[in-house]
Structure 1
Amino acid sequence: MATEQRASGPMRSAAFRFALLLAAVFAIGAAALLVIVQHQIGRYAAEATNGGLKAESAVLAGEYAQLGRQGLIDAMVRHAGVSRDAQYRYLLLGGDGAHLFGDLPRTVARNGWSSVDVTEPAREPGGPTRETFTTLGKPLPGGLTLVVGTDNYDVQRMRARLSRFTLLSGLGIALFALLGGYLTGRLFLRRLDQVNRAVDRIVEGDRAERLPTIGFGPEFDELSHNLNRMLDRNAAAMEALRQVSTDIAHDLRTPLSRLHQRLEQMQDSPVVEPAMIDDALAQTAGILSTFQALLRIGSLEGGIGRKRFTRVDLSELMDRIHQAYAPVAEDAGQSYLADHAQGVVVEGDGELLAQLFTNLVENAIVHTPAGSTITSRLFIAGGVPVAELCDTGPGIPPGERANVFRRFYRLDASRNTEGSGLGLALVAAIAALHGAECSILDREAGLAVRIAFPANEQVPQTKGHSQAATN
């Protein structure tokens, strides 16, 4: 079933909402920056203006002290004529209030700081403008009053330009963030839609489908990878369950039919002999054993058991198996030799690994005639722990070697011996669980099974061998 509802567009995506939040943050930051800069500029301009007025007043007062009233007027004429747009404007009044020099209004003729609005000729298109002048009045000897003033036109123009620049920059950054969020949202939704479609196919039963990578960062790709690993594990478990069901349906039909016939014979017989009961119980035990082996193989192929992995001393484990089965091989008229490097350690489940090598040894003892030699080897090849079990028995034809690890597979020559054909299948399942490669080597005579475990940094670089033989 397809997903019922998906986001209708990039405007509703998380990426766009995040970009909208960033745009709001940028706008607030631009406004705060404008307020701070405006305050700092105003403060700096006021300090610079006051300092300039004090310095100009002091210079003119010095001119008056040295050159008198006419020298003061000449100095103000020189200062006012430096440029068409002079920095300072002046007002000089006599002791009787007569106007001696300057174009500032008489309203500023007072001592100390003051301000006045003055209509100035147009500096830019648009007609005359009203400007605010800051003034400083200073009394001079002889009853004169000197007033020096300067306008704030340049400061106000700089503030206006800064305000426009900050506003436009803030709007530009916000629009850029929104556009980036919109485009990112579209791209993200497009790739997310691919993921959703893959999920739809998985829900509809396509077990081979896997999630594509989103590509927006390693964390998203890692999420897709982990989800695909989970799907692989679930698919392996489902396939193992399906295979177990198929094997039970096809390969247990014959022993169940035999058991059914035996029970019918017991039902029809007036006297049930103990041998018949024993035979039925033996068949039941064999069927139960087969069921247990199938279930264990299925659970192993589904990946169950890795949580119990620890460091296993493979040398000590194989030595114990050799000691336990050497007398069994001797009773069967066979020789069981061991050549094990010491200190070989692998990551795995000790019980399962013991089951693996036990199955190999029992298989060799059952299917080789008296006088055969069975050899167990453990060594390091290229930093990889390798275990081999070889025998000098009849071996397996090359054309049949690919099938020996299948469930219930038995050679024609082995159908009269005990067993269910699950021993080597269990070996292959345990090896696969441990990431080991299970293979059959080419030999002129006999059989050689090799188990190559994954490389382990703890393996020894030199080999110390222990060898034992039972004749």
Structure 2
Amino acid sequence: MDNLRLSFNNSRTRLVLASMVLSTLLTATVLALVYVTANRSIESETRSVVSAELTGLADEYERRGLIGLLTAIERRIPTASERDALYLLTDRNGTKLAGNLRQWPDDITAGSGWVQLELRRSDSEQLVPISAASIRLPGGERLLVGRDALARQQFDRVLLRSVGFALAIALALSVLTGWLFTRLVFSRLSDIASTAENIVSGDLSRRMPLRGTGDEFDQVSGTLNTMLDRIEELVSNLRTTSNSIAHDLRSPLSRLKQRVESLSDSRKSEQDREIDIARATTEVDHVLRVLGQLTEISRAEAGVGREQFEDVDLKQLVADVVELYDPVATDQGVTLEVTGSTAPLPGHRPLLSQALSNLLENALRYAPDASTITINIADDGLYTNLSVRDHGPGVPQDDLARLQMPFVTLDPARTERNAGLGLALVAAISHMHKGMFDARNCDPGLEATIRLSRKP
């Protein structure tokens, strides 16, 4: 009993049973409609023929009297067996005058409408089922016309056997179809579940299998693989960030500890104490700045702030940021040039300003004197690209993919002003806007691009 209960709790078993039941019900409904329709059609045809014959014989009685009616019935008798036709004409007392039936049924009143009964033929002792109608003639005679229903009953039995046979075939086919369907579905689900188990165990390199059919399973697997790519990227960034935080904050916190401890040295002068306090404050500012940038990256990666999206005029935003950095660029002998335009797009204005500022600061850091930094806006319909290009030394090709990783900097040594989080924040803001960050060498210089989706 427990095994039976477990089998019915199995999804595959339930699907097969559901397919079997639904297919059987559908087939039974269709066959029942065919059976009922066929019977009604035959019944209607029989009644029409019998009614026509009754009307014809009654007309013959009116035109030619009883003799004419007897002649008409006798003329029909030789071919009656071929048509399963039955006739009986009696006088007012029930005495048979003509026909191929023995006697008038005792329980039938002439003119009582369509009836189903059993009577004996004139040439047989066996009772036969009859469908018939009757009328009383003006002279008191009674006329019954019908059809032998034995063939009809045999047809019903054959039809019922055919319906049962068809239901049995439908039941077998539904079980086979349900089994094949569940085998197909559950084989795909089994592949996905097996891969998911490996991923849960820690193997983030595994991906959902694709069969190249383009069906819904492949679409779901493709979506899951995209999600897994993103998860793997985030986990990798998390590991790198964790290691980098431990590395980058150990030094300033150690120096801060030394500065604080040195304040208790009574041999130090007031001036040295002030210097130590200033340096300790610098270390604290550096730690707070790093933590603040990490918080901004985490919030952007999580999509926090999307409720603050508004239509942003990107060209005006670029103009505002360029106006802010133009004095710095002028001091370095660098020209800031803005090209292109686009229609307003949904975005987080402060974060987009922060991302552009980070790109400009990075470009100004490496741009040579008397060079131009170009900020270009390009729209391809679905996305808007905001790119910043300098004419500096560029980046080694192997390091391009690492630029957006936290705590990655190509400086020989990390400094207080560069913790390697600027481009990581830019990439996070791009992802928040359903886009991406990309960088490429232009020989000379580096072009960094933020790709922003135009869909909210």
Q: Say yes or no: TM over 0.5.
A: yes
Q: Please list, as runs of the form range in 1=range in 2, the aligned pairs for 1:348-367 lying within 5 A after superposition.
A: 348-367=347-366
Task: Work out whether 1:131 is the aligned partner of 2:129.
Answer: yes
Deviates more, 1:74-83 or 1:210-219: 210-219
Match of 1:380 in 2: 378
Residue 280 of structure 1: CA displacement?
0.9
Residue 286 of structure 1: CA displacement?
0.8
Match of 2:178 in 1: 181
Residue 325 of structure 1: CA displacement?
1.9
Match of 2:79 in 1: 82
Residue 216 of structure 1: CA displacement?
11
Residue 300 of structure 1: CA displacement?
4.2
Q: Is the 8 Å Cα contact of residues 441 and 447 (structure 2) preserved in structure 1? A: yes
Q: Is the 8 Å Cα contact of residues 108 and 135 (structure 1) preserved in structure 2? A: no
Match of 1:463 in 2: none
Gap runs ≥5 in structure 1? 458-471
Q: Using the alignment, how far apart are the partners of 1:429 and 1:96 within structure 2?
A: 108
Tell me the amino acid that sits aligned with residue 21 of structure 1.
L
Match of 2:418 in 1: 419
Match of 1:152 in 2: 148
Match of 1:285 in 2: 285
Q: Please list, as runs of the form range in 1=range in 2, the aligned pairs for 1:80-229 lying within 5 A after superposition.
A: 80-82=77-79, 85=82, 87-90=84-87, 101-107=98-104, 112-113=110-111, 117-118=119-120, 130-132=128-130, 134=132, 136=134, 138=136, 145=141, 147-153=143-149, 154-212=151-209, 227-228=224-225
Q: Using the alignment, how far apart are the partners of 1:108 and 1:7 within structure 2?
A: 59
Q: Using the alignment, how far apart are the partners of 1:162 and 1:339 within structure 2?
A: 85
Q: Using the alignment, how far apart are the partners of 1:282 and 1:86 within structure 2?
A: 116
Residue 177 of structure 1: CA displacement?
2.9
Q: Please list, as runs of the form range in 1=range in 2, the aligned pairs for 1:30-41 lying within 5 A after superposition.
A: 30-31=31-32, 34-35=35-36, 38=39, 41=42
Q: Using the alignment, how far apart are the partners of 1:385 and 1:212 within structure 2?
A: 33
Q: Is the 8 Å Cα contact of residues 437 and 449 (structure 2) preserved in structure 1? A: yes
Q: Using the alignment, how far apart are the partners of 1:6 and 1:358 within structure 2?
A: 63
Q: Using the alignment, how far apart are the partners of 2:446 and 2:12 within structure 1?
A: 66
Q: Please list, as runs of the form range in 1=range in 2, the aligned pairs for 1:424-463 lying within 5 A after superposition.
A: 424-431=423-430, 433-434=432-433, 435-444=435-444, 447-451=445-449, 453=451
| Distance change in 2, residues 1:389/1:351 (3 Å) | same
Q: Using the alignment, how far apart are the partners of 1:321 and 1:197 within structure 2?
A: 51
Residue 392 of structure 1: CA displacement?
5.7
Match of 2:21 in 1: 20
Which structure has more RCO (C-alpha within 8 Å, separation ≥ 6)?
1
Task: Work out whether 1:49 is the aligned partner of 2:50.
Answer: yes
Q: Is the 8 Å Cα contact of residues 86 and 101 (structure 2) preserved in structure 1? A: yes
Q: TM-score, normalised by structure 1?
A: 0.73
Match of 2:3 in 1: none
Match of 2:242 among 219, 241, 245: 245
Residue 302 of structure 1: CA displacement?
5.9
Q: Using the alignment, how far apart are the partners of 2:443 and 2:299 within structure 1?
A: 33
Q: TM-score, normalised by structure 2?
A: 0.75
| Distance change in 2, residues 1:72/1:191 (3 Å) | same
Q: Using the alignment, how far apart are the partners of 2:12 and 2:207 within structure 1?
A: 28
- 1:210-246, CA deviations, whole angstroms, 9 ceiling, x for partnerless residues? 4457999966666555555554554444333222111
Q: How many pairs are equivalent?
A: 437
Residue 11 of structure 1: CA displacement?
5.7
| Distance change in 2, residues 1:88/1:36 (3 Å) | closer
**RMSD across aligned C-alpha pairs, in angstroms?**
4.4
Q: Using the alignment, how far apart are the partners of 1:97 and 1:427 within structure 2?
A: 110
Task: Work out whether 1:337 is the aligned partner of 2:336.
Answer: yes
Residue 315 of structure 1: CA displacement?
1.4
Match of 1:325 in 2: 325
Residue 83 of structure 1: CA displacement?
6.1
**SS of 1:117 mapped into structure 2:** strand
